A and B are shown apart, each in its own frame.
Chain A
Amino acid sequence: MAATSRTGALMPALVVENLRFPEDGSIVSVARLSVEAGGRLVVFGPNGAGKTTLLRLLAGVVPGGPTFAAAYQPQHSHVFRGSAGWNLGLGLNPEQAAWARTLADRFGLDPALYEGPARALSGGERQRLSLARTLARSEPWVLLDEPLAALDVADRMTVAAALVDSLNGKGAIIVTHDREEAAVLGERVAVMVGGTILQEGPVAEVFSLPVDDRVARAVGVANVLDGVTGHREGPLCSIRVGPLQVWGLGDLAEGVGARVLFGAEAVTLFPGHEAAAGSARNRWPGTVSALRETGRLIEVIVDAGSPIAALITPGSQAALNLEPGAPVIVAVKATAARIIPR
């Protein structure tokens, strides 16, 4: 394990190598983790992936991690006996405490609560308070474990945007298991499964082009289809999945078992069975078989010979008049699909 700082930049980048916990690496085994100075890395993964342990190692709460100056906020915001205002200023100098109040205001914590006992605060209010206090500290890095988990769904994106605005050039490593949060909070995302980081890259790229099916499952890529590869064209390769021929990025020989992955958000739906304009290489006619609300979006399952999941907004659903049984054309750009060996 080593943490090094790159000199020359205004603030050093964080580079952590060969981080293992415990010694056999059974909980966390990270070969390399690097974040540019002022960068925002989201550590994303399912429950039990080791995300919290990784963050605790980085924070120094669990011994064996690197030493660097970071303000850490654990997953569960605990408030201490005393007023909310007193709790907000804990560990801060007067200047930082004033800044914490400004931040708490940004995060939507009502200043009228400051005089009252902190124990009377709701879970969401406690989280806003802890977040403001952590960001008000002077350390150049912040480590946040599920910083929005206790907030109402309706407030999360607002607070997430305020959080990003309030970093003021600080670097951040943020643990979350929510895709939307990850997309707002992170510039880059590291997908962690079984204690290991399987893929790291820009959020949009990782979420739309997972390197393998473990990452695909972790990031919730809705479409994972198995088939046999066909011929190739430049960077593209085709795969036959039942009656469908699917084009995607891949470098596989012809006639081998393979798997194609693409996100539900990469799927475009056109009403009716008329050929629609556009550059998408993959177009298949199908009928809507089911609709399911997922948070603020709607997941549409289309039977196109194989089931294909698409994510649309409630507005699109109304405009396209999508109901079960409705005919649609499913379109997926070949560059949004990845074909990997099976």
Chain B
Amino acid sequence: MSFIGDVLSEAIRLLCQFGAELRGVLWLTLVVSLLATAIGVALGVPLGTALGLGRFRGRTPLLVAVNTGMGMPPVLAGLLILLLLWRDGPLGSWGILFTPQAMVIAQSLLAIPIAAGVTAGAVGGLSPVTREQLSALGLGKTAAGWIAVREAWPGVAAAVAAAFGRVVSEVGAVLIVGGNIEGETRVLTTAIVQEARQAQFGAALALGIILMVLALMINGALTWLQLRERVH
């Protein structure tokens, strides 16, 4: 019991200090995860809406690809981006490997299928009455898609939350393309791995608590938006 107690008190001490290094890790985590979520939502929600509403050629294979992508292991996403950005790779000239940019790209690859898949489910689940009225409005595809997203808002908010949850908690992709360089590409998850490896359990737990609080705040905000919209 004293071991757990010691770890916990060390974690609390570090949290109370909240030093510059910790602040830097938290800030980078927020920036990378939010940017990757934003890219994932910007591309995934329209894709999911098209999949949920449309009846077009290639829809089924695309849906299978998205659903498979939802379960893509983060280390594989990291590996793919690593190959692309490696100095001899097709995008090697960009010179962004082991930078936050590379981490955003790798996490976006994880966020897009999640945002698309959950949105496709939400939009596809709109009632036949809703869909028929929507098609009867005679709108263009973009306008109709926008109304469908508004209509399926609680489900689309869940897609945003799921995408954020996916990227903020993953460690494999950012570790591979970021390299966990202290002060440059270290985020909460990779820092936890680092501290745990060095048996710095108090520090690892402190980082874990911060990660959970962060996830709680973002998801709390999204849930509030989700429920507020339901009133109408």
State the A residues within 8 Å of B (CB): 59, 61, 71-74, 76-78, 80-82, 90-91, 117, 119-120, 130, 133-134, 137, 139
Contacts and interface: CB of A to CB of B under 8 A. Distances in A.
B232 A74 contact: no
B139 interface: yes
A59 B129 contact: no
Query: Which 10 pairs, one residue from A and one from B, show the smallest C-beta to C-beta distance?
Result: A78-B133, A91-B137, A117-B232, A76-B129, A72-B136, A74-B132, A91-B139, A78-B129, A81-B150, A78-B130
Nearest to A82: B150
Nearest to B137: A91
**Binding site secondary structure of chain A:** loop
A81 B137 contact: no
Contacts of A134: 136
Nearest to A72: B136
Contacts of A77: 133
A133 B138 CA distance: 11
Most buried by B among A59, A74, A82: A74
Contacts of A78: 127, 129-130, 132-134
Given A78-B130, A81-B151, A73 B232 contact: no
B112 to A, nearest CB: 25
B129 A119 contact: no
B153 interface: yes
A74 B126 CA distance: 16
Interface of B: 127, 129-130, 132-139, 143, 147, 150-151, 153, 229, 232
Nearest to B144: A91
Contact of A74 (B136, B138, B143, B150): B136
A78 B150 CA distance: 14
16 contacts: A71-B136, A71-B138, A72-B136, A73-B136, A74-B133, A76-B129, A77-B133, A78-B133, A78-B134, A80-B130, A80-B133, A80-B150, A81-B151, A91-B137, A117-B232, A139-B138
Given A80-B151, A117-B232, A119-B232, A90 B129 contact: no
Contacts of A139: 138
B73 to A, nearest CB: 37
Most buried by A among B130, B138, B139, B150: B138
A78 B32 CA distance: 41
A81 B231 CA distance: 10
Contact of A59 (B136, B147, B229): B136
Contacts of B132: 61, 74, 76, 78
Contacts of B129: 74, 76, 78
Contacts of B127: 78
B136 A81 contact: no
